Amino acid sequence: MITQLYFYRVLLPDGKTKTGLSQFAFEREFSAQLWLERRHKAIVLTLFRCPAWLRGIARFFASLFSPSVTNEDLSGLMRDLSLMMRGGVSIVEGLRTLADETDFGSGNGIATAVNILHEELEGGATVSQAFSRHAELFPEIVSNLVDIGNESGSLDRMFLEASMHLERIATMGRDARRALIYPAFVFISILGAAVFWMYYVIPGLSNMFRQFHAKMPPLTVGVMRFSEWMHANFVVSFFLLLLLILFPVLAFRLSGKVRNKAFVLGHKLPISGLLLRTSGMAFFTEHLALLIRAGLNMLQSLDILERATTDEYYRDAIGNIRRVVERGEHLSVAMRATNRFPPLALRMIAVGENTGTLDEQLEHLAQEYRRRLTHVIASLSEIIKPVIILAAGAFFIFVIVALLLPVYDLIGQVMTGGR
Question: 313 and 374 in one domain?
Answer: yes
Query: pLDDT per residue over 35-79, tens digit each?
Result: 788 777 888 888 888 777 676 676 666 555 555 678 888 888 889
How many whole angstroms separate alpha carbon 325 and alpha carbon 405?
Answer: 67
- The pLDDT score that the predictor gives to residue 323 is 93
CA pseudo-torsion sign 308, 313, 317, 319: positive
Residue-by-residue DSSP string for 205-265: HHHHHHHTT----HHHHHHHHHHHHHHHTHHHHHHHHHHHHHHHHHHHHH-HHHHHHHHHH
Order across the sheet with 4-11: list the strands: 17-24, 4-11, 43-49
Query: pLDDT per residue over 237-248, tens digit each?
Result: 778 878 887 888
Question: 218 and 116 in one domain?
Answer: no
- The pLDDT score that the predictor gives to residue 362 is 92
Show Cβ contacts of residue 286 under 8 Å, excluding neighbours closer than 6 positions.
165, 168, 362, 363, 366, 369, 370
- The pLDDT score that the predictor gives to residue 108 is 65
How many whole angstroms separate alpha carbon 24 and alpha carbon 6?
Answer: 8
- The alpha carbon of 30 is separated from its chain's Cα centroid by a whole number of angstroms, namely 32
Pick the last residue of a domain from 25, 50, 65. 65
Residue-by-residue DSSP string for 100-150: HSGGG-TTSHHHHHHHHHHHHHHTT--HHHHHHT-TTTS-HHHHHHHHHHH
Question: 204 and 79 in one domain?
Answer: no
Section 366-383 average pLDDT: 83
Query: Given a cut of 70, is residue 126 above it in pLDDT?
Result: yes
Question: 302 and 249 in one domain?
Answer: yes
Query: Given a cut of 50, is residue 106 above it in pLDDT?
Result: no
Judge whether 197 and 231 are in contact, CB under 8 Å.
no
Strand pairing report for 43-49 and 17-24: unpaired
How many whole angstroms separate alpha carbon 115 and alpha carbon 127?
Answer: 14
Residue 350 is part of which domain span? 168-419
Residue 240 counted as domain residue: yes
Residue 151 counted as domain residue: no
- The pLDDT score that the predictor gives to residue 345 is 92
Question: 321 and 179 in one domain?
Answer: yes
- The pLDDT score that the predictor gives to residue 320 is 93
Residue 148 counted as domain residue: no
Question: 118 and 233 in one domain?
Answer: no
Judge whether 362 and 349 are in contact, CB under 8 Å.
yes
- The pLDDT score that the predictor gives to residue 333 is 93
What one-letter code names the amino acid at 209? F
Judge whether 170 and 295 are in contact, CB under 8 Å.
no
- The pLDDT score that the predictor gives to residue 350 is 93
Show Cβ contacts of residue 48 under 8 Å, excluding neighbours closer than 6 positions.
6, 7, 29
Judge whether 117 and 155 are in contact, CB under 8 Å.
no
Residue 234 counted as domain residue: yes
Domain of residue 173, CATH code: 1.20.81.30
How many whole angstroms separate alpha carbon 358 and alpha carbon 284?
Answer: 13
pTM of the model: 0.64
Q: Which range has highest mean pLDDT (165-174, 203-212, 262-271, 375-384)?
A: 262-271
Query: pLDDT per residue over 245-260, tens digit each?
Result: 788 878 777 777 888 8
Residue 43 counted as domain residue: yes
Residue 204 counted as domain residue: yes
How many whole angstroms separate alpha carbon 92 and alpha carbon 81?
Answer: 10
311 vs 124, more confident: 311
Pick the last residue of a domain from 86, 120, 138. 138
Q: What's the pLDDT band for 1 if we cut at 50, 70, 90?
A: very low
Number of H helices, E strands in the chain: 19, 3
3-state class percentages of the chain: helix first, strand second, coil last, to nearest 5: 80, 5, 15
- Work out how many domains the chain is built from and give that number: 3
105 vs 275, more confident: 275
User: What's phi and psi for 21, nearest 5 deg?
Assistant: -120, 140
Residue 153 counted as domain residue: no
- The alpha carbon of 65 is separated from its chain's Cα centroid by a whole number of angstroms, namely 15
Q: What DSSP designation does 67 have? A: P
Q: What's the pLDDT band for 373 if we cut at 50, 70, 90?
A: confident
Question: 218 and 96 in one domain?
Answer: no
Question: 110 and 80 in one domain?
Answer: yes
Q: What's the pLDDT band for 102 if we cut at 50, 70, 90?
A: very low
Mean pLDDT of the chain: 80
Q: What's the pLDDT band for 322 if we cut at 50, 70, 90?
A: very high
Least confident of 21-30, 94-103, 124-133, 277-286: 21-30
Residue 146 counted as domain residue: no
Question: Closest Cα to residue 288, out of 267, 274, 264, 306?
Answer: 306
User: What's phi and psi for 4, nearest 5 deg?
Assistant: -115, 145
Judge whether 89 and 97 are in contact, CB under 8 Å.
yes
Query: Given a cut of 70, is residue 123 above it in pLDDT?
Result: no
Question: Closest Cα to residue 285, out of 374, 344, 361, 172?
Answer: 361
- The pLDDT score that the predictor gives to residue 27 is 60
How many whole angstroms separate alpha carbon 262 and alpha carbon 251?
Answer: 10
- The pLDDT score that the predictor gives to residue 24 is 65
Question: 313 and 406 in one domain?
Answer: yes
Question: Closest Cα to residue 31, out of 50, 51, 4?
Answer: 4
Section 264-268 average pLDDT: 87
Pick the last residue of a domain from 138, 156, 180. 138
Query: Given a cut of 50, is residue 105 above it in pLDDT?
Result: no
Query: Given a cut of 80, is residue 348 above it in pLDDT?
Result: yes
Question: 87 and 11 in one domain?
Answer: no
Question: 75 and 59 in one domain?
Answer: no
Question: Closest Cα to residue 373, out of 174, 139, 163, 160?
Answer: 174
- The pLDDT score that the predictor gives to residue 351 is 93
- The pLDDT score that the predictor gives to residue 107 is 46
Section 218-231 average pLDDT: 79
Question: 82 and 188 in one domain?
Answer: no
